[in-house]
Amino acid sequence: MGVLGRSRYVALTALLLMPPSVLAELNTQETFRFQSGFWTNLHHFLFQRAVEQPADDTTASTKLGPEEAKDWSLALAYYGEQFDGKDLLDRDMVVIKNALADTGCEPSLESTGLDGELVDALETAAPVYRAVWWAAHDRSNRSRIERLIPLIARHEGRLRVRLAEIYGTEWPDTRIETDVVFHANWAGAYTTLYPTRVTISSEDNGVPPLESLETLFHEVSHALIDKVRTAISERTRSLGKLLPRKSLWHAVLFYSTGEIVRELAPGYTPYALKHRLWERAWPDHLGVLESEWKPYLNGDREFEASIEALVDRLAVDP
């Protein structure tokens, strides 16, 4: 532990000596293990303020005393210098995120094995974060999960069966570790693999529960999609062509999860349709998915035939 970390260790220990903020599922759902962990919330919040949306933190400055403002600025400066240009899906960022998530609300980061300067930055920022933001962020996280649990319990059986069938992959045999943070990333959620771990935001309290349900099962589907990705790549290579959008597999994932949730809740508008993701990310893909992939979802066409039809319709000459 560096000088900054040692000088604040006693105070930080007092601040954090409390049970981990793990949401009790009360055995009502078996798919996700939710956690609102102090350190992973702080990490994502610092990353947002310093890297994703860097700007003068005028809102914070009105809430902080001189010493708090100094400590917070030091942590932001470290994040800005070390992680500028980084993506949360980069391998080294995944290692950091998983280590912090596993630490939950422990009083110290000494056992994580993370870089000492990173530990110093986080432990320097921790008292400030707890004093100003943490209570509200944790409350937001808990509220989001408490609203979701009954909905997951009602629909998880069908969703798990349908998605495993669609992707030809067994559903994971343990609960998916799911870290709830006030701010996850620009998209509101992301997933890392090996092991599968979902990070989801509680920042927007206006997100309808069914949309959050779609988001959660969309994220888990990232661990199931390999057969689709491989089949798309093999068909594209066999044609000697290219796809105008390399992430056709991700379009398939968005479409499939949205349609399966719509099966459970007629009248539901899937996320990609509601937020005009098709127009922005995959122009001309929605009609092809409707005509070539939906028959597979409905059980009217085999997997291989639908993959071939999708690629054949969308592939272009090099």
Q: Quick one: which of 181, 174, 176, 177 has its CA closest to 144?
A: 181
Q: What are the pLDDT digits (tens) for 219-228?
A: 999 999 999 9
Q: Which of 26-35, 70-79, 186-195 has the lowest mean pLDDT?
A: 26-35
Closest CA to 125 of 179, 58, 86, 77: 77
pLDDT band of residue 245 (cuts 50, 70, 90) is: confident
Banded model confidence at residue 205, pLDDT cuts 50, 70, 90: confident
* pLDDT at residue 55, rounded to an integer: 63
Residue 252 pLDDT level (bands cut at 50, 70, 90): very high
* Verdict on whether the full-model pTM lies above 0.85: yes
pLDDT in tens, 153-190: 999 999 999 999 999 999 999 999 999 999 999 999 99
User: Which has more confidence, 168 or 19?
Assistant: 168
pLDDT band (50, 70, 90) for residue 237: very high
Proportion of the chain above pLDDT 70, given as a percent: 89
pLDDT at 61: 54
The pLDDT of residue 10: 39
Distance separating alpha carbons of residues 240 and 237, to the nearest angstrom: 5
Residues of the chain with pLDDT > 90, as a percent, come to: 81
CA separation for the pair 72, 24 (Å, rounded): 32
Q: How much is the mean pLDDT over the chain?
A: 90
Distance in angstroms (rounded) separating the CA atoms of residues 40 and 182 = 10
The structure tokens 């459970």 sit at 264
- Cα gap 239→218, rounded to integer Å: 29
Contacts by 156-161, CB closer than 8 A, 24 or more apart: 156/29, 156/30, 156/31, 158/263, 158/264, 159/213, 159/217, 159/260, 159/261, 159/264, 160/31
3-state class (DSSP) for residue 180: strand
User: Strands of 189-192's sheet, edge to edge?
Assistant: 32-35, 176-181, 197-201, 189-192
pLDDT at 144: 93
Compute φ and ψ for 181, nearest 5 degrees. -125, 155
Return left, alpha or beta for 128; rule: phi > 0 is left, psi -120 to 50 is alpha, else beta. alpha
Kindly tell me if the per-residue pLDDT of 286 is higher than 80: yes
Provide the pLDDT confidence category of residue 9 given band limits of 50, 70 and 90. very low
Segment 143-153, tens digit of pLDDT: 999 999 999 99
Between the alpha carbon of residue 314 and those of residues 10, 32, 242, 282, 311, the distances in Å are 60, 36, 9, 11, 5
Of 70-74, 108-112, 122-126, 168-172, the least confident: 108-112
pLDDT over threshold 90, residue 15: no
pLDDT exceeds cutoff 50 at 24: no
Residues 6+ apart with CB under 8 A from 75: 46, 121, 122, 124, 125, 128
Structure token digits, residue 297: 């979802």
158 or 246, which is more confident: 158
Residue 176's φ and ψ, nearest 5 degrees, are: -80, 120
Is the CA virtual torsion 280, 276, 264, 160 positive or negative? positive
Tell which residue, 249, 186, 195, has the closest CA to residue 220.
Answer: 195
